[in-house]
Amino acid sequence: MQSYPIDPPQRLLMGPGPINADPRVLRAMSAQLVGQYDPAMTAYMTETMELYRGVFRTANEATLLVDGTSRAGIEAALVSLIEPGDRVLVPIFGRFGHLLREIAERCGAEVHVVEREWGTVFIPAEIETAILSSKPKILAIVHGDTSTTLAQPLDEVGAICAKHGVLIYTDTTASLGGNEFETDAWGVDVATAGLQKCLAGPSGSAPITLSAAAVDVINRRKSIEAGIRSEGDAVLASPIRSNYFDLAMIMDYWGPKRLNHHTEATTMLYGARECARILIEEGIPEAIERHRLHGSAMVAGLVGLGFDLFGDQSVRMNNVVGVEIPSGIDGDGARATMLSDYGIEIGTSFGPLHGRVWRIGTMGYNARRDTVLTTLAALEQVLRRGGVAVTAGSGVGSALDFYGS
């Protein structure tokens, strides 16, 4: 079998993620490797920690990267926090709440669940009632769930958790960098993310930040593996149940001890550092406003094309919108046409929304005026060829009117 150099087709990724990476991130990732304890490398690690404190809006010392996709960050957080038998409360309003539930169960937690219909979110009082009923050690909740395109308001939830002695973990993979998120001001103990959405990078590195309270819980479970153990290091009979995702050792790797836990994914660190550097250079409020502007223009254009929007629009994420697929249109066939004829990818949906809703993203490097207008123009033609009566130019025109206003 003959193989050839990789030459991916040209695509405009306007689904719920991943998106096209910022060229500056790809350039950073082409840099040469250095040793994991080279002073240059440890300096990059330290710089990356400080940059992500700015992205997460936190002063947490324990702000670093977990090597792996965004799910690696989720699993590292939960397996390091949860001891078998701990009570964990998971409010579910979309697909990724179910993921948190499954990971917590695999960690041996006694999981309690409250659910909301997809397309809605919880009010703080509902979460507090569930906390009073289940008395959990940890509340695990998604901030922005791309499966429903909605963001769960958390500005009051952290204070509720603090009042009842509950740690709060949240998955911000889909929301961080494009929507307001305030780790410290909202009282969030642990938050994890990924690069492939609003942070404008590739999947493969999971930023994480941990409060002092969360670090204390994890460090009480610290057990250093035999091959790198020093005299006096902790050894527990029941350690954190993953070596790779053991945040107690990972924090020592990133910290002054420089514990030889793993070899850092150097190229991914270069990329993650550049994602954060670009965001901080732009300004977090400015990046959020850019996502709001272009996301809202996309919504205006979709409404102009006659789409019905899915879900509670008062809590829609800035960076992704769900629309009901028009009657008579083959949803998967139309998406395939968008890809084959125009090189544009939009998203399908999961579970109860599959075949009913498309998800269209405007995020990261693709949160731009030209991508919005190009996507709307192509979508109009696909709808017309599918037999949907659409006024010519209505989508692009509505978006341009929004920009003009």
Q: Per residue in 108-139, pLDDT tens?
A: 999 999 999 999 999 999 999 999 999 999 99
**Residue 19 CA to its chain's centroid (Å):** 12
> What confidence category does residue 231 fall into, taking pLDDT thresholds of 50, 70 and 90?
confident
With a CB cutoff of 8 Å and minimum separation 6, the contacts of 287 are: 177, 178, 198, 279
Percent of the chain with pLDDT over 90: 95
With a CB cutoff of 8 Å and minimum separation 6, the contacts of 326 are: 306, 307, 383, 386, 388
Strand partners, 192: 171, 208
Dihedral of alpha carbons 146, 285, 299, 372, sign? negative
Structure tokens at 214: 């969360």
Strand partners, 139: 89, 168
Residue 207 has a pLDDT of 98
Q: Per-residue pLDDT for 238 more than 90?
A: no
Q: Per-residue pLDDT for 233 more than 90?
A: no
Residue 234 has a pLDDT of 81
Q: In angstroms, rounded to a whole number, what is the distance separating the alpha carbons of residues 176 and 10?
A: 26
Assess contact for 56 and 181: CB atoms under 8 A: yes
Phi, psi of 127 (to 5 degrees): -70, -40
**Range 156-176 average pLDDT:** 98
Sheet with 205-210, strands from edge to edge, namely 62-67, 205-210, 190-192, 167-171, 138-142, 87-92, 110-115
Residue 230 has a pLDDT of 86
Structure tokens at 47: 């710089």
- pLDDT tens profile 91-100: 999 999 999 9
> What confidence category does residue 159 fall into, taking pLDDT thresholds of 50, 70 and 90?
very high
User: To the nearest whole number, what is the mean pLDDT of the chain?
Assistant: 96
Residue 232 has a pLDDT of 83
Structure tokens at 361: 């993203």
Structure tokens at 394: 């209505």
Phi, psi of 225 (to 5 degrees): -65, 155
Nearest CA-CA partner of 54 in 366, 278, 363, 293: 278
Q: Which residue has the tokens 């610290």?
A: 222
Helix (H, G, I), strand (E, B) or coil at 62: strand
Structure tokens at 188: 């969030």
- pLDDT tens profile 254-309: 999 999 999 999 999 999 999 999 999 999 999 999 999 999 999 999 999 999 99
Residue 236 has a pLDDT of 86
**Range 8-23 average pLDDT:** 97
Q: Per-residue pLDDT for 235 more than 90?
A: no
Residue 228 has a pLDDT of 87
Residue 130 has a pLDDT of 98
